[in-house]
């Protein structure tokens, strides 16, 4: 069977971890077939895709987004129908369950099969009925796969995300001697565990010399969980630790360039953990919560360290080890850089996804 022309659908326009993973896959697929991206609105995703030379479509590129959700949905579905016909698309690939609200009706109108990328733990309260309409499902980890209902597991394939190392400087810039920088990045929600990291840092204040950098939580927040993080940061500064809090930024490469140690302290079982494989690709020593998809990536004491989930004291213990032991940092980061280039490569990722495409096309006939 000839390789299919694929249209990749994302309802979100920011350069989130999911969309960075999509771009990595689409770039690798370009070696095999014709690919294009559909995004509801213009934004950082479409800008980056065009910079990479990927054909990109948006129904609201030159007109305002309708306030009516129904009208917005109808415009998106009709636009997808037009693209599928004009570009002779063989398969639609939705990169989120939410994107299936557009991909599935377009698939129904055109007869083109649809694959859905399952990037989150399955929850009936979140995922709408269209998710189950996918001909095939790509599950990003065993963690995600085990959350699926049994009737969906039969159509699901576990394919880990990949990371493109070609854009990472080789050799990496040499850091000038100075205070070690500990960093964490992600959405400012309780599940991400930034409060645990701040508690751990408070325990280490006065014992270790370090800076703490948090990217994601709103540093101007005055209410809710982000405001609690702001208050924790202020208390840590009073203990003499330099704390830097940034809102979400799309130049994530800058984060990896700056950090000496990267922490992923998630309270909930992460579906995968893109921050982890990106940190490994940048040869950064890594400390993650020991559950979920993260432990499919990080092997404790081999290519990183794990801490007991939800346990600030154990996080502090492991972080102190990293901060005080340069030999440990070097060993873990070197092993991580080798491991990520063996297990999470774009060509292998693309080959696995193409296998799923072929099954979807055969089953739709």
Mean of the per-residue pLDDT values of the chain: 93
pLDDT (tens digit per residue) in 198-246: 999 999 999 999 999 999 988 898 899 999 999 999 999 999 999 999 9
Q: Which CATH superfamily is domain 180-343 in?
A: Glycogen Phosphorylase B; (3.40.50.2000)
Q: What tokens were used for 221?
A: 């927040």
pLDDT of 365 strictly over 70: no
Q: Return the higher-pLDDT residue of 362 and 94.
A: 94
Q: What's the pLDDT band for 128 if we cut at 50, 70, 90?
A: low
What's the DSSP call for residue 292? T
The CA-based angle 11-15-17, given to 5 degrees, is 90
Give the orientation angle of helix 312-324 with respect to helix 326-343, to 10 degrees.
Answer: 100
Q: Could you tell me which CATH number the domain at 6-162+345-364 has? A: 3.40.50.2000
pLDDT of 118 strictly over 90: yes
Sheet of 136-139: strand order equals 55-57, 35-39, 6-10, 91-94, 114-118, 136-139, 156-158
The residue-averaged pLDDT of 35-40 equals: 96
Q: What is the pTM of this model?
A: 0.91
The residue-averaged pLDDT of 247-260 equals: 90
pLDDT of 1 strictly over 70: no
Same fold across 6-162+345-364 and 180-343: yes
Q: What percent of the chain has pLDDT over 70?
A: 98
Q: What's the pLDDT band for 31 if we cut at 50, 70, 90?
A: confident
How do the domains of the chain map onto residue ranges? 6-162+345-364, 180-343
The residue-averaged pLDDT of 124-139 equals: 80
Q: What is the pLDDT of residue 127?
A: 55
Determine contact, residues 132/259, Cβ cutoff 8 Å.
no
Q: What is the pLDDT of residue 249?
A: 82
pLDDT (tens digit per residue) in 275-325: 999 999 999 999 999 999 999 999 999 999 999 999 999 999 999 999 999
Determine the Cα–Cα distance for residues 88 and 90; give it in Å rounded to an integer.
6
The residue-averaged pLDDT of 147-175 equals: 91
What residues contact 267, with CB distance under 8 A and at least 6 apart? 190, 191, 192, 193, 196, 289, 309, 310
Determine the Cα–Cα distance for residues 346 and 340; give it in Å rounded to an integer.
11
Provide the Cα torsion 250, 253, 257, 262; round to 10°: 80
Q: What percent of the chain has pLDDT over 90?
A: 80
User: By CB neighbour count within 10 A (0-12 exposed, 13-18 middle, 19+ buried), where does 251 fall?
Assistant: exposed
**Which residue, among 116, 108, 114, has the nearest Cα to 148 in the 3D structure?**
116
């Amino acid at each position: 069977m000839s390789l299919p022309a694929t249209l990749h659908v994302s309802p979100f326009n920011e350069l989130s971890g999911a969309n960075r993973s999509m771009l990595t896959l689409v770039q690798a697929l370009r070696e095999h077939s014709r690919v294009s991206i559909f995004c509801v609105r213009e934004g950082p995703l479409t800008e980056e895709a065009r910079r990479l030379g990927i054909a990109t479509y948006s129904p609201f590129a030159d007109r305002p987004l309708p306030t009516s959700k129904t009208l917005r949905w109808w415009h998106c579905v009709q636009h997808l129908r037009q693209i599928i016909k004009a570009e002779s698309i063989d398969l639609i690939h939705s990169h989120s369950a939410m994107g299936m609200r557009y991909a599935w009706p377009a698939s129904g109108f055109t007869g083109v099969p649809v694959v859905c990328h399952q990037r989150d733990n399955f929850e009936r309260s979140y995922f709408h009925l269209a998710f189950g309409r996918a001909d095939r499902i790509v599950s990003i980890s065993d963690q995600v796969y085990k959350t699926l209902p049994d009737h969906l597991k039969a159509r699901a394939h576990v394919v880990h995300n990949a990371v493109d190392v070609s854009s990472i400087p080789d050799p990496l810039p040499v850091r000038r001697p100075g205070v070690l920088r500990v960093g964490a990045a992600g959405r400012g929600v309780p599940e991400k565990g930034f409060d645990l990291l701040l508690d751990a840092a408070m325990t280490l204040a006065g014992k270790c010399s370090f800076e703490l950098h948090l990217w994601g939580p709103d540093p101007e927040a005055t209410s809710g969980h982000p405001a609690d993080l702001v208050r924790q940061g202020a208390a840590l500064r009073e203990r003499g630790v330099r704390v830097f809090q940034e809102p979400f930024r799309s130049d994530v490469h800058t984060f990896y360039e700056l950090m000496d140690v990267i922490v992923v302290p998630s309270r909930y079982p992460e579906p995968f953990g893109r921050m982890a494989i990106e940190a490994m690709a940048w040869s950064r020593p890594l400390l993650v919560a020991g559950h979920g998809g993260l432990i499919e990536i990080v092997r404790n004491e081999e290519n990183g360290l794990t801490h007991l989930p939800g346990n600030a004291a154990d996080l502090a213990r492991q972080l102190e080890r990293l901060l005080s032991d340069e030999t440990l940092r070097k060993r873990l980061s070197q092993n991580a850089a080798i491991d990520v280039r063996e297990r999470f490569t774009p060509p292998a990722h693309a080959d696995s996804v193409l296998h799923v495409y072929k099954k979807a096309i055969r089953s739709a006939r």
